[in-house]
Structure 1
Amino acid sequence: MRLSNLADYAVVTMSAAARHCGGARTSAGELAAETGLPAPTVQKVVSKLTAAGLLRSTRGAGGGLQLARPAAAITLADIVEAVEGPITLTACIDGHDCAVDHSCTVKRHWPMVNAALRGALAGIPLTRLSVEAV
């Protein structure tokens, strides 16, 4: 399994936003400058993260972006799902057609595998990802 570039960028963006936690609000432009990501990409990611309720955007003077809840209450699973949707390893779990669905002996086990993967990602809070290397 590999995260999409957009999911990776969402993690990087949220990590940068978390470093502003408790301070002044930030902007998508500032996050782009801090992360080295292109501003249009950060804006797209910020839009998805805001829609998922992970970031809060305030307009006007003194406005900007801030985490919608404490960094410790946001997990890697939350961030990935905000961009990718539910964490599933196979298409058959999402209700997509499968050529071997009628004879598949593994399908009933995929929910357990997906839950284990999601659980692992849910066990990593944003606070662990936002610590700068020393």
Structure 2
Amino acid sequence: MRLTTKGRYAVTAMLDLAFHSQKNPVTLTDIATRQTISLSYLEQLFARLRKAGMVTGVRGPGGGYKLSRDASLINIADVIEAVDEQLDSTKCGGEANCQNNKACLTHDLWMGLSDQIRGYLQGISLGDLLEKHHVKEVAKRQEMDAKVIELHRMDRCQSLYK
């Protein structure tokens, strides 16, 4: 199975959103800064996540995104599939047409692996990850790092006007 940047970034962004949107909506700019993901890439991912009904946009001052349902109800497999990633280890996409339109010798092996991976990721929710001590520590560190970046940005802007 190949999990591309798209799937990894989607999970990372959703976990960031789950952590930081517990009080207020979160902007994609904030997620981009904390996770060092391109803002334009996040916009593409969140368009798909919104279409899949996982996030809701909030307009106006103080707006941004929030989860559309409780983090415990959003599993990692659904996030990955929402951004058009396949949880499939086969060459044939599970169609059993890998060799001359028939199943190859190892088709069942790769189908079994795909099922195991999908089951594992379906069994983990964003809420489960939020409960992990390590996730909380990393999220807090990233928040502090983002504040430092913002302070440096503000200092640069102020020095331009002097």
Fold shared per TM-score above 0.5? yes
**Equivalent residue letter for 1:80:** I
User: In 1, are the aligned partners of 2:32 and 2:42 still within 8 Å (CA)?
Assistant: yes
Is the contact made by 1:93 and 1:111 (CA closer than 8 Å) also made in structure 2?
no
CA distance in 1, matches of 2:113, 2:23: 39
Q: Does the aligned pair in 1 maintain the 2:11–2:79 contact within 8 Å?
A: yes
| TM-score normalised by structure 2 residue count | 0.69
Query: By how many angstroms is 1:94 displaced?
Result: 4.3
Identity over aligned pairs, percent: 31
**RMSD of aligned alpha carbons:** 2.5
Distance 2:63 2:21 in 1: 15
Deviation (angstroms), 1:7: 0.9
Which one has a bigger Cα radius of gyration?
A: 2
CA contact (8 A) 2:96 2:102 kept: no
> In 2, distance between residues paired with 1:16 and 1:71?
11
Q: What amino acid is the match of 2:47?
A: S
* Secondary structure at the counterpart of residue 87 of structure 1: coil
Q: Taking structure 1 as reference, are residues 2 and 112 closer, same or farther at Cα in structure 2, changes over 3 Å only? A: closer
Aligned to 1:129: 129
Structure 1 residue runs without a partner (length 5+): none
Residue 137 of structure 2 aligns to which amino acid in structure 1?
A
Segments of 5+ residues of structure 2 without an aligned counterpart are 139-162
| CA 104–98 in structure 1, closer or farther in 2 if over 3 Å, else same | closer
